[in-house]
Amino acid sequence: MSGNAIANAAAVLDDAAVKAQAVDQFAPGSFDLADAYRIQRASIQRRVARGDGIRGIKLGFTSRAKMIQMGVDSLIWGWLTETMIEEEGGTVDLGRYIHPRVEPEVCFLTRRTIDRPITALEAADYVEAVAPALEIIDSRYRNFKFTLEDVVADNCSSAGLVVGPWSRRFEGLGNAGVGVTVNGRLVLSGSTAAILGHPLRTLVQASRLLSSCERSLPAGSLVMAGAATAAHALAPGAHIRCDINGLDRVEFFTGSAS
Ligand code: OOG
Ligand code: MG
């Protein structure tokens, strides 16, 4: 794909995000996975040029539940930026989004720069703290339908995130119960073991992915490990709460319909 075509695709996806208006999927075979990551990078550069800052990365499709829901079976990654962060315990304006869904996540705060592939034994040493989090995903494609290449180009549906209180309680993180309630009703439940067997393994994967494209991640970055369960559509006037056993809880509200 030419540099121009990459910039054009990035502009289409970035505009869709800014205007909160869905766009059509790209024609099948328009670009390969390497080009999809180039489009993703170009769309993030547009955000950064507007003054947004990079805060970390997210992994996607690290659990079977997510792969099955979306019909995609490869691990993917994208960028998290400052303006995606929603206030914990606050009210999220759904007008910023197209067709938002929420999913429970484990979020890591890194302690050391990740600038080479790390092993599972080393992973814990790279973590400063862990928090329960809720990710708001919002595909820019109509009907939330995409191929692997489409979703990577669209920065892996990254749109919003709400991060709960940080802690250093890592014991039990490998198999902790996860529950999401909406207005007090349990809508999603699972275990952190669904995330690559242990959420810390996502740091190993992240380090490999970053190295393969010659990028590093500074200390103090966020790493979202990927949802342990499928995602749930967000509606107005709701209280969304996620509890992860051994960690604190994280919650937010959605504004009333306008
Ligand atoms: C893609 C993003 C996947 C996860 O946690 O697996 C993801 C999507 O489902 O739209 O964030
Ligand atoms: Mg996610």
Q: With 90 as the cut, is the pLDDT of residue 257 above it?
A: no
| CA 245 centroid distance within chain | 21
> Reduced to 3 states, what is the DSSP secondary structure of residue 229?
coil
pTM above threshold 0.85: yes
Q: Ligand 2 centre and the CA of 18: distance in Å?
A: 20
- In ligand 1, the atom with minimum distance to the C-alpha of 227 is 5
Q: With 80 as the cut, is the pLDDT of residue 32 above it?
A: yes
Q: Ligand 1 centre and the CA of 72: distance in Å?
A: 10
> In this predicted structure, what is the pLDDT of residue 258?
61
How many domains is the chain built from? 1
CATH number of the domain where residue 135 is located: 3.90.850.10
Residue nearest to atom 10 of ligand 1 (CA): 157
Residue 104 pairs with which residues in a beta bridge? 134
pLDDT digits (tens, 9 = 90+) for 142-178: 999 999 999 999 999 999 999 999 999 999 999 999 9
Q: Pull the structure tokens for residue 128.
A: 């400063």
Of 168, 185, 149, 163, the C-alpha closest to 76 is 149
Model confidence at 242, in pLDDT bands (50, 70, 90)?
Answer: very high
Q: With 90 as the cut, is the pLDDT of residue 256 above it?
A: no
**Percentage with pLDDT > 90 across the chain:** 98
Which residues form the domain of 46? 3-254
List, chain by chain if needed, residues with CB within 6 Å of any ligand 1 atom: 58, 60-61, 66, 70, 103, 135, 137, 139, 151, 156-157, 226-227
Model confidence at 217, in pLDDT bands (50, 70, 90)?
Answer: very high
pLDDT digits (tens, 9 = 90+) for 38-97: 999 999 999 999 999 999 999 999 999 999 999 998 999 999 999 999 999 999 999 999
pLDDT digits (tens, 9 = 90+) for 100-152: 999 999 999 999 999 999 999 999 999 999 999 999 999 999 999 999 999 99
d(CA 124, CA 75): 21
- In ligand 1, the atom with minimum distance to the C-alpha of 58 is 11
Q: Pull the structure tokens for residue 16.
A: 């869709």
Q: Which ligand is nearest to the CA of 65?
A: 1
Q: Ligand 2 centre and the CA of 258: distance in Å?
A: 27
Q: Which of 13, 70, 136 to mutate to test the pocket of ligand 1 (most atoms within 8 A of CB)?
A: 70
Q: Are 160 and 138 in contact (CB under 8 A)?
A: yes
Rounded to the nearest integer, the mean pLDDT of the chain is 97
Q: Ligand 1 centre and the CA of 232: distance in Å?
A: 12
Q: Which ligand is nearest to the CA of 229?
A: 1
Model confidence at 34, in pLDDT bands (50, 70, 90)?
Answer: very high
Q: Ligand 1 centre and the CA of 23: distance in Å?
A: 18
d(CA 155, CA 46): 12
